[in-house]
Amino acid sequence: MIKPLGSDKLIPLYVADDAKRAALLKEAAGLPSILISSAAAGNAVMLGGGYFTPLKGYMNVADSMSVAETMKTTSGQFWPTPVINVVEDASAIKGAKRIALKDPNVKGNPIIAIQDVTAIEEFTAAQMATMTKAIYGTDDMEHVGVSTFNTVGKVCISGPIQVLNFSYFPSEFKGTFKTAVEIREEMGKLGWEKVVAFQTRNPMHLAHEELCRMAYEDEKADGILIHMLLGKLKKGDIPADVRDACIRKMVDVYFPPNTVLVTGYGFDMLYAGPREAVLHACFRQNCGCTHLIVGRDHAGVGDYYGPFDAQTIFDGISKDDLQIDIYRADHTAYSKKLDKVVMMNRVTDHTKEDFVLLSGTKVREMLGKGIKPPKEFSRPEVADILIKYYQSIE
């Protein structure tokens, strides 16, 4: 397996020792505390699980600006997006050197981590604007990621953290939520060395399934990591539990045993297009994967990014900084001529009419009416799960 980013081994910040964790929880009860944002809680979960190796905690203003502008911290460590804990008001922890971070996503707001405070600073409006444009490629507040990023606060609390739990993810997604540590262990037990990763926030249609198979075969891989986002999404996206059921059904029925790991990670979607694709590559390298599939409009939303921007961004990234290879995929669709799913740029003799193409809107309409999409678009077993979901929200 590939080495972690910037380190010979993973650096999970979760306190795994039961006695130490119990002592820290007891300490946390007496510390000044602050309710953090969902994004900051997601960062804590990712830091805890080793996904954000080699980072040790939340970035300060200088590192955040450096990462936004150059994809490197002030010390030169490659990283594509700021990993920050920002709030609107930090008066409750003024002068504190050690604080408890309260989870906004769990009832009662339990302590998710303890942070050693190295600095409490405030981003200026100009700095927020610079970061926004660099990370998201736009400053349009209609962009869901831009809006979220700019409405949680500007006060930056930096410093290393000790993670005490993984929020709601282990209980709500038992068997699916895995840390980078656990994923490496599972792949090691399976004897996988060359692994292709597939990122998803959606159920997988036939084209996605075949894309995984193409990458697996083209790269002569030992296995496929289907790795789904389990955190918050924009309105209208399909809930994680439904996606999980769809993907597991597809894998159970259509893939040979021990060729696919279905897992998930606890993080909120950024919808940051190219920059988020690079972030995805970083933490898939930390999982041990050798390749990441990056398709058209990877991690995008609306029309903010070009169809291949999330691929070309890797052209400017050195192998010294990021070792994982990118499997660059074009749009995949069912070819009526060849009677199979193909990558559209590989069949130059085809016209648009030679493919089975359905818009997301059309598919949702069909599912809501209890109509299965054609077998060339979706597996019937997956369609059954989606029909049940869409009819439940009518």
Residues catalogued as catalytic: 201-202
* Residue in the block written with tokens 């083209």: 218
E strand or H helix at 360: helix 360-368
Q: What is the DSSP string of 252-287?
A: HHHS-TTSEEEEEE-------THHHHHHHHHHHHHH
From CA 310, how far away is CA 383, in angstroms rounded? 29
Distance from chain centroid for Cα 40: 14
Q: Which of these, 264, 332, 275, lies nearest to 298 by C-alpha position?
A: 275
Q: What are phi and psi of 346, to 5 degrees?
A: -95, -5
Torsion sign (Cα): 64, 66, 72, 75? negative
Phi, psi of 174 (to 5 degrees): -60, 130
Sheet containing 332-335: order of strands: 340-343, 332-335, 355-356
Helix segments in 73-230, DSSP class H: 125-136, 144-149, 169-172, 180-190, 206-218
CA nearest to 15, candidates 27, 4, 26, 23? 23
Secondary structure letter of residue 216 according to DSSP: H
Taking the C-alpha atoms of 258, 205, 178 and 10 in order, what is their torsion angle to the nearest 10 degrees? 80
Find the helix packing angle between 274-287 and 180-190, rounded to 10°: 60
CA separation for the pair 219, 301 (Å, rounded):
29
Q: How far apart, in whole angstroms, are the C-alpha atoms of residue 309 and residue 268? A: 21
Q: Are 330 and 320 in contact (CB under 8 A)?
A: no
